[in-house]
Amino acid sequence: MIPKRLSIAMVTALLAACASLPVYNAPFADMDQNGDGVVEWHEFKTHFPEADPKVFLEADRNKNGEITPDEWQSFVDQ
């Protein structure tokens, strides 16, 4: 059981974090600038200049340095 005070603090921190983040819900094709079917870090960064590398790493589920449409969908839907 999480103490009530702690859970409220956690929710507040989470909301604050969400509010300060760019919205990562771009259509995959918009990010894949060279049309090779995957989004690499430089493409991601071009589309989201404020992007944190951690976000890219999180979206890159299998950590191969590229985001596939499936990985992106899974990231956006989470």
Contact 12, 44 (CB under 8 A): no
Q: Least distance from C-beta 65 to Ca ion, angstroms? A: 7
Q: Least distance from C-beta 23 to Ca ion, angstroms? A: 21
- Among candidate residues 18, 65, 58, 23, the one with its CA nearest the CA of residue 43: 65
Q: What is the DSSP string of 41-69?
A: HHHHHHH-TT--HHHHHHH-TT-SSEE-H
Q: Least distance from C-beta 53 to Ca ion, angstroms? A: 14
Under rule CB under 5 A, which residues in 10-69 are in contact with Ca ion? 32, 34, 36, 60, 62, 64, 66
Q: Name the site residues for Ca ion (rule: CB under 5 A).
A: 32, 34, 36, 60, 62, 64, 66
